[in-house]
Amino acid sequence: MKILKIQLGILIMALAGLSAGYGLSRAAGQVAGDNVVVNQVSEDDLLIAGRNLQVQAEVKGDVTAAGSDVTIAGPVAGYVMVAGARINVNGPVGNDLWAAGANVNINAPIADNAMVAGRDVKLLPGAVVKHNAKIAGGAVSVQGRVERNLKLAARDAQIASEIGGSVDARVESLKLLPGAVVRGDLVVYGPKEPEISPQAQVLGRVEYHKREWERAGFWAWLWRWVWMSLAMLIVGFVAIAVAPSWANRVSAMITGKPWSSILTGLACLLLGPLAVALLLVTVVGIPLALILLALYVVALLLSGVFVAYLVGGWLLDRLRRPQSTPYLRMAVGAVAVAICVSLPWIGWLVQLLVLLVGFGAVVLDQREFALRLRTQGLA
């Protein structure tokens, strides 16, 4: 296990180095803070994190943003990857849009694909998705045009615009409002048939598959919760046994630098697979790529474990048991996090947040640990 931890540390440092190198060579800015306003043209990529974020000026590269309130108002030439509680995309996007939040409003043209998830998602009339759109959420309103195919996963969904291709909907309820046009097929999975207004059109076939979710949904939820709890418990107990102080350090990093952890986690999650892909190009790099991929998966597992450890400590403190053993903290946290991640409609958002915060905190902790060793002349 010591060898595994050393290898994991090498992976994390490599990802941190990739992230830093990527930022120095390509990013016009990496900014973190409570209130961040970008009002000058960015010549290259932009990475920002904070509570309130506003991108008002043009960005000639990609935008990666994580915050509470995020607004993209200026045009972006490349990709937009954004996570937050409230997200507004009002500026045109020159490539794909990936957005995840509680409330997501899109009111601008997207030159390629859109992948959006949230509790409440609105594709407003000013939005035009030039290729495919995949939208998941509690309540979804599609008022903007999608020029190719639309995939929906939602509790309640409404379509009031033109869909150039087919619609695949897995929903509890779906309404096609007056003026809606589906030029391809409409395929619906759910407990209720779609409600199609007489003023709406489906030019292809309408196919409905009745699916009872109530009973199957409960057992699926229960199985998911049990499986995730056991997985985190096993990995967490091993991590505590091998390096008991590591969990405390990462927990302190999460509480001390939450926004930096989110931004770092987002960057490393994206750059890890890219590094593996680059190594696979050469025959010499294939063994290293396989090792890197395996350690990348281990790092992802540990990210959730450390967040669970932090949550368990917080809950036990509220119960006036601050002196509980690390194993009890891990057990309580694993059960609590697994319940939240398994919740319908919002579980994916909790899982994304856990992944970003935990992965980023692990990377930042290992970077600081390496810097301390270098300062002490041990590395």
Domain match, 200 and 233 both: no
Measured between alpha carbons, how far is residue 186 from residues 80, 144, 200, 206 in Å?
Answer: 29, 17, 12, 5
> Residue 194 carries which DSSP code?
-
On whether residue 15 sits in a domain, the answer given is: no
One domain, residues 34 and 173? yes
Tally of domains within the chain? 2
Q: Are 246 and 331 within one domain?
A: yes
Q: Are residues 197 and 325 in the same domain?
A: no
Q: Domain for residue 3, yes or no?
A: no
Same domain as 249, residue 176: no
Do 155 and 34 fall within a single domain? Answer: yes
17 domain residue, yes or no: no
Q: Which of 168, 184, 212 is the last residue of a domain?
A: 212
Question: Which residue segment(s) compose the domain that 274 sits in?
Answer: 215-373
Q: Is residue 352 part of a domain?
A: yes
Structure confidence at residue 281 (pLDDT): 67
Residue 235 within any structural domain of the chain: yes
For residue 144, is it within any domain?
yes
Give yes or no: residues 296 and 315 share one domain: yes
320 lies in some domain: yes
Instruction: Going residue by residue through the chain, which has 379 residues, state the pLDDT in tens, using 9 for 90 and above.
Output: 333 333 333 333 333 333 333 333 333 455 555 688 899 998 888 877 667 889 999 999 888 776 678 899 999 999 887 876 789 999 999 999 988 777 899 999 999 999 887 778 999 999 999 999 998 878 999 999 999 999 998 889 999 999 999 999 988 899 999 999 999 999 999 899 999 999 999 999 999 998 765 444 555 555 566 667 767 777 777 777 777 788 888 888 888 888 888 888 887 777 777 777 776 766 666 777 677 667 677 667 778 888 888 888 888 887 777 777 787 788 888 878 877 776 666 677 777 888 888 888 888 887 787 777 777 765 5
Question: Domain for residue 36, yes or no?
Answer: yes
Q: How far apart are CA 152 and CA 133, in angstroms?
A: 9
Cα 346 off chain centre by: 12
Q: Which residues contact 243 (CB under 8 A, 6 or more apart)?
A: 5
The pLDDT assigned to 234 comes to 72
Give the model's pLDDT for residue 270.
74
Boundary of a domain, candidates 212, 239, 270:
212
Residues 130 and 227 in one domain: no
202 with 222, same domain: the answer is no
309 plus 171 within the same structural domain: no
The pLDDT assigned to 132 comes to 95
DSSP string, 105-153: EE-SEESS-EEEEEEEEEE-TT-EESS-EEEEEEEEEE-SEESS-EEEE
Final residue in a domain of this structure, among 184, 212, 240: 212
Do 201 and 120 share a structural domain?
yes
Is-contact 27 47, C-beta < 8 A? yes
Residues 283 and 137 in one domain: no
The predicted pLDDT at position 9 comes to 39
